[in-house]
Homo-oligomer: A and B are copies of this chain.
Amino acid sequence: MAKEKMVKEITSMEEDFAKWYTDVCLKAELIDYASVKGCMIIRPYGYAIWENIQSIVDGLFKEKGHENVYMPLFIPESLLQKEKDHVEGFAPEVAWVTMGGDEPLEERLCVRPTSETLFCDHFKNIVHSYRDLPKLYNQWCSVVRWEKTTRPFLRSREFLWQEGHTLHATAEEAKAETEQQLNIYADFAEKYLCMPVIKGQKTEKERFAGAEATYTIEALMHDGKALQSGTSHFFGDGFSRAYDVTYTDKDNKQIYPFQTSWGISTRLIGAIIMAHGDDSGLVLPPAVAPIQTVIIPIATHKEGVLQKANEITERLKKVCRVKMDATDQTPGWKFSEYEMKGVPLRLEIGPRDIENNQCVVVRRDNGEKIVVGLDELETRIPEILKEYADGLYSKALDRKINMTYDAKNLDEMKEIAENKPGFIRAMWCGDRACEDELKEVAGVTSRCIPFEQEHISDTCVCCGKKAEKMLYWGKAY
């Protein structure tokens, strides 16, 4: 009864995917709306997911020698303007500070939408010789982009992210960094978020403002839309030239160093929701789940139940993130509450279980009930979590495979785009006009030129001229 009531509170995916998404964000207590339009409050349960993401990714960065720094929140307008493409890309969507207390500022300040310009300004101060390179920097912070249309996690006026900014003596080294970081993102998405991704390069049209090359990981959501989930940019020496950053090499020559930047954001929480969630709510990958196992004692008034549940909780604390819920809500209410919150495993323990020296473990993803002997808890729970994670990944992979279509010509492209949500693989001549056209007539944008190329046809899906590359296309968040 209680369960039905809870479940009814979420719109089903079928009925209205966008509404389902917002319902999950609010009902699983990930966010609350804020008094400033387009901004969000990240509540403890949502923030704990972000903390887990941070902790894993930060470790992966540090293993590769990256150091964290903190740059100011504000960028003077004149500093932002030094790189022409960059300012054109960002100026239309920045928030401007014009007053400090009661006094108008001499120069208005932009609230950082991204910090390339600040890093360049700093690099100029601290990099002089080849001995000072490379600089492998990262920062965790919030950024602001004054978007018109917003959605929690996916597109909000302020969001949390990390932005890596590195400076290298050679273009080769910078390119290798760009690639290394994209691989870290892809591995993180697949291994920790159980979310398969396509790795590839963005077309010129979709490139980051000021970059020579932008690499991306693209994931497929439940509704067949693509989500750009992490990007890595190679800047060449363009920013160095614009900001006059130079170093003296071993032969005493002045060289413009080569720069990269790369980032992932709280958008990944949106990706998790839409990649794994179902009509009962969130389904969390164990690596980032704030609670990995919730213990629900059954018939708590019976002698020994609470004591046993407490004992199990203490034991499991050593092998996973565990919570015991001994509140006076009904088991049914608790079941649906933790389903809504996407807790991977529910462990039920009642008088009869105790008698049999066992408990029942229920998987959130498929409802499977597993009887586990109490003596083998510490080994079985991590195993089941691993099986659960593998299950999430293969389910998402199957979906990606089943929802990826090939189009050989414009008619096929239009037909698929209209009727079959998912990725569309199709050849492209390399011409931006064809990208514009496909957006216009089929409503799809190029997601990326995947590193793993395949031959779908000889000619461009749009204009019919000789094809250069295979692209992934799709509707995107």
Contact = CB atoms under 8 A, between A and B. Distances in A.
A47 interface: yes
Q: Interface residue tally of chain A, by bracket?
A: 35 or more
A48 B73 contact: no
A47 B35 contact: no
A122 interface: yes
Interface string A221-260: 0000000000000000000000000000000000000000
B118 A34 contact: yes
Contacts of A92: 101-102
A294 to B, nearest CB: 17
A85 interface: no
Contacts of A50: 70
Interface in A326-367: none
Interface in A157-176: 158, 160
Contacts of A68: 44, 47-48, 51
Given A93-B101, A137-B44, A73 B142 contact: yes
A51 B90 CA distance: 30
Contacts of A118: 34-35, 41
Contact of A160 (B70, B111, B158): B70
A293 to B, nearest CB: 19
A70 B97 contact: no
A62 B217 CA distance: 34
A37 to B, nearest CB: 9
A1 interface: no
Interface in A37-89: 39-44, 47-48, 50-51, 67-76, 79
A126 interface: yes
B91 A95 contact: no
A67 B48 contact: yes
18 contacts: A32-B125, A34-B71, A36-B74, A39-B73, A43-B69, A47-B68, A50-B70, A51-B68, A74-B95, A91-B101, A93-B101, A95-B100, A95-B109, A96-B97, A96-B98, A96-B99, A98-B98, A101-B146
Interface of A: 32, 34-36, 39-44, 47-48, 50-51, 67-76, 79, 91-102, 108-109, 111, 118, 121-122, 125-126, 137, 141-142, 144, 146, 158, 160
Given A92-B101, A101-B146, 12 more contacts: A32-B126, A34-B122, A35-B72, A41-B72, A44-B68, A47-B68, A47-B69, A50-B70, A73-B158, A92-B102, A95-B97, A97-B98
